[in-house]
Structure 1
């Protein structure tokens, strides 16, 4: 990384010049620096509205960058150790879909774990690629899916040598990392591209003693959700390209779906956040790890809760662990993770990232303060005292259900469908998604056969208060199935 280069922020500098030039706007957006919408300006601030501008020659154009955006992307590529870094303003969803659609066309096979984010399966619906699912490991004590075993990846490649790519979650929502270097080595030996959904791994590039990053492992592409742990604005992301990828072609793919009105607020946040992490990342993530480690220790002292970490590593499906993650198992206090999630928000004014059947996840960053960590710990102690019940560890002991794929996602999604009550749909082929959000990992995806185990899981998740999404029926009582 070139530290002198990293001190620059070209988009930030260009916007500062633009503001000083006091240009009279006869272009969009129509709020004209906020003057046309006083209530919005009062709420967001005049400075913010004045910087919400459209593409113009001095500010470059996201769809075909030739000046300040191009320079900012080159500096970002240096920061991440990538051949190229593309600014994404449609969220990491667009980054993931861009990766998949850059290497796969209709009928091409892509190997992936089934616990991918819905954005990856959405990409299959759009481009017509065929998934080859590698079942992740499962920790039944914690009720979580893990990473991919190298042996399972090798088996999938042997059975599907024509596959174009492997998609790897690294890390998972819970902080679990696969043996990424070895997966890359095995895939490249068979001329298969490796795509990494690194939505929760920005800090791998800038912190010390972190799991290996996708670019350092030799992956071909990576989707990095800068806003999650990197400090940029929500919806801003990077798509990183390695040496074996043509970034100009990838940009063409991204431009099929990304807005032509790129938000300069999102782009400048990426520019400044990258600069901040490049210059201060070691310090930022050192503090983050210390806060997360302290919180885990104190939560584990409460009894019942289990904030897990590196001790669950097994050298295979849990090859490494993200030390910034505060994932907490709750079932030994008699509560589902989503119940603790709801209690923290509704009774204690604490918003954690998500809760599922067995765990909740609190995102810790350098923006947190010690007293907020203490407030979380104290609230969990009181929740245990006031709401704790008998251990429910034996009930529905895992989040992951092996899929029964009966049809490719695109064909199922666009097929003629009928709506059935969910409880009456056993044996049918699903024509849409069902998922808890967050994290947005489908319980059912288009083309999968609906089983009794899946129905039981959906019903249990609803009973515990999980927020279910994905179905056309907004009440998630009916499901669209493929008409036979």
Structure 2
């Protein structure tokens, strides 16, 4: 067996979760020793240099197959055998109606969910703290984004979640909205009042999408926030690479409810956007990750949560450092926190989060998940070891001791903060496909953006296609871009120029515009 150990199944589920249908099918296929007159071209790894085979491992290369090989290993696009059974086990483990393996990562899953939920010109309610990939789903679906108020906590340096009150106001102003997109948890591990918001949205007839890329493990421990499916969401996207130990690009899209029309839309989008050459190694890792999470998840998370709390306590004793913990529950935008994800504020050390992360990696070989102006974000995962925890604490202490200095109390340090546009002039789809021209970033104020600009480190979208570019956002991008650890992504990697809609070449019906009176005179 490729995955030799099996533990007695002890969970109250419909299916036998101790089985590994895809792993077992791949093992059985390899034992047949068939002659490979088919793709892939490396022929079970024999066509690759020996040095590469040694590093990767022959057992893995034997399982790098193509779905056209034969019915024994099934096909992701038309699953009826071992892949279908593996997906049934995933759905059973998460109490979903159906689950789909994704080999293109959670980004494509979120885009699929948006396209399944929205028709062209539908309105979708979302907050500004969504992941950048939502932009692509909105562009492809032709939907109009309805943003809830963006509140940036300048003291803590983080963008707040959508609140229940925000949602109610958005529904009142946009009664024709068709969908709601929520991110739970946030990049900092803070979950909104998910079940209440899902109920509110359903009462208004909205399809609820939850981007749960950082919360796939919630299902397996009672001390963690409620999962999207448990909260009643219709479509839930999870990144199993980040949370459950699957290989890079391994993700899952869950569908809840028995609506045949919704499932048909999901299938149609899935067939259109999923590669016809899915990686069996990624799918096998999803099968293994599901097995481990069900059979050992609660025990592993017990250990992880306990160790993460010890780490947080040790960090809080270091001068200038503070872990954002359960005091966050006093806020209206936080209902629960993921204690396996640690947000460390570093502003009182006199260092930025970017510089602190750089010193940790360069001098102590400790790499954090994300860095921001004021914070470090750490993901502990299922397999955090005591050795790694001690190394982290020692490295933090050394950086503070060697480079930290208390910030003078009398100095008012104004950190750059994102100020988002309130003027969506064109639909994101219309702007994305419109004639465009490049202008210097500093001269782009007042133009309609034709591309998406986002913070590469956090995945935070700053400007959507179709939005008017504001002076405040340009100032923020220039200020942040001057820091060597910060990278913004647009079509121009250096962000010296930005693509804007060329109104001189554009002939569109007036219905494509919103606030068009403010767009002109240049």
Q: How does 1:219-234 map to 2 (within 5 A)?
A: 219-234=233-248
Q: Contact 1:302–1:381 (CA<8 Å) still a contact in 2? A: yes
Find out whether 1:447 has 2:466 as its counterpart: yes
C-alpha distance in 2 between matches for 1:481 and 1:397: 24
Q: Deviations over 1:97-147 (max 9, x none)?
A: 111000112111110111211111111111211100112443332110121
Structure possessing the higher radius of gyration over alpha carbons:
2
Equivalent in the alignment of 1:368: 384
User: Which of 20, 25, 32 in structure 2 is aligned with 1:9?
Assistant: 20
Question: Which runs of 5 or more residues in structure 1 are unaligned?
Answer: none
295-304 or 440-449, which moves further after superposition?
440-449
User: Which of 346, 352, 355 in structure 1 is aligned with 2:371?
Assistant: 355
Find out whether 1:255 has 2:271 as its counterpart: yes
The normalised TM-score by structure 2 is: 0.89
**How far is the alpha carbon of 1:403 from its aligned partner?**
4.7
C-alpha distance in 2 between matches for 1:205 and 1:253: 26
Q: Deviations over 1:200-231 (max 9, x none)?
A: 00111112221111111111110011111101
User: Which of 26, 30, 55 in structure 1 is aligned with 2:41?
Assistant: 30
Find out whether 1:94 has 2:96 as its counterpart: no
C-alpha distance in 1 between matches for 2:440 and 2:142: 28
Q: How does 1:276-291 map to 2 (within 5 A)?
A: 276-291=292-307
Secondary structure in 2 matching 1:215:
helix
Equivalent in the alignment of 1:21: 32
165-174 or 18-27, which moves further after superposition?
18-27
Q: Contact 2:421–2:469 (CA<8 Å) still a contact in 1? A: no
409-418 or 22-31, which moves further after superposition?
409-418
**How far is the alpha carbon of 1:437 from its aligned partner?**
1.8
Q: Contact 1:145–1:398 (CA<8 Å) still a contact in 2? A: no
**How far is the alpha carbon of 1:11 from its aligned partner?**
0.4
Find out whether 1:464 has 2:476 as its counterpart: no
Q: Contact 1:432–1:470 (CA<8 Å) still a contact in 2? A: no
Extract structure 1 runs of 4+ deviating beyond 6 A: none
**How far is the alpha carbon of 1:294 from its aligned partner?**
1.2
Q: Contact 1:145–1:400 (CA<8 Å) still a contact in 2? A: no
C-alpha distance in 2 between matches for 1:136 and 1:365: 29
Find out whether 1:420 has 2:431 as its counterpart: no
Q: Deviations over 1:297-344 (max 9, x none)?
A: 111110211211111113621121111111111111122211211121
Find out whether 1:381 has 2:400 as its counterpart: no
Q: How does 1:58-73 map to 2 (within 5 A)?
A: 58-73=72-87
**How far is the alpha carbon of 1:356 from its aligned partner?**
1.4
27-36 or 444-453, which moves further after superposition?
444-453
Give the RMSD, CA atoms, in angstroms.
Answer: 1.7
User: Which of 98, 102, 111 in structure 2 is aligned with 1:84?
Assistant: 98
Q: Contact 1:331–1:393 (CA<8 Å) still a contact in 2? A: no
Q: Contact 1:431–1:446 (CA<8 Å) still a contact in 2? A: yes
Q: Contact 2:218–2:225 (CA<8 Å) still a contact in 1? A: yes
Equivalent in the alignment of 1:304: 320
Q: Contact 1:196–1:221 (CA<8 Å) still a contact in 2? A: yes
User: Which of 46, 56, 62 in structure 2 is aligned with 1:50?
Assistant: 62
Question: Which runs of 5 or more residues in structure 2 are unaligned?
Answer: 1-11, 504-522
Equivalent in the alignment of 2:176: 162
Q: Deviations over 1:407-426 (max 9, x none)?
A: 22111121122212212212
Equivalent in the alignment of 1:74: 88
Q: Contact 1:218–1:242 (CA<8 Å) still a contact in 2? A: yes
Find out whether 1:126 has 2:145 as its counterpart: no
Query: What is the count of residue pairs matched by the alignment?
Result: 484
